């Protein structure tokens, strides 16, 4: 396995792990701050918008660059 193959496999896995860890952090923050359902939904909406923006950016780069 060369570097490019390793990177092609490892990068999406590490990004998923980072997003999952950030989700845990947001959940823990909502729990400790007693944000309630609405507050927790807003926190996860903000995290979700960031993740969606990252995915859209990757798709646009693939479409334009490839």
- Mean residue pLDDT of the chain comes to 90
Number of domains in the chain: 1
Global pTM reads 0.73
Reported as a single tens digit per residue, the pLDDT across 2-33 is 998 999 899 889 989 998 999 999 999 999 99
Q: In whole angstroms, give the CA distance from residue 35 to residue 42.
A: 9
Beta-carbon count within 10 A of 41 CB: 13
Answer for the pair 20, 2: CB distance below 8 angstroms, yes or no: no
Domain that holds residue 8: 3-65
Q: Which helix (H) or strand (E) holds 1?
A: none
| 8/20 Cα distance (integer angstroms) | 19
């Amino acid at each position: 396995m060369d570097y490019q193959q390793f990177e092609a496999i490892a990068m999406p896995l590490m990004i998923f792990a980072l997003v999952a860890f950030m989700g845990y952090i947001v959940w823990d923050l909502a729990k400790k701050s007693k944000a309630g359902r609405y507050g927790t939904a807003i926190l996860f909406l903000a995290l979700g918008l960031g993740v969606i923006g990252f995915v859209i950016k990757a798709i646009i780069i693939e479409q334009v660059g490839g």
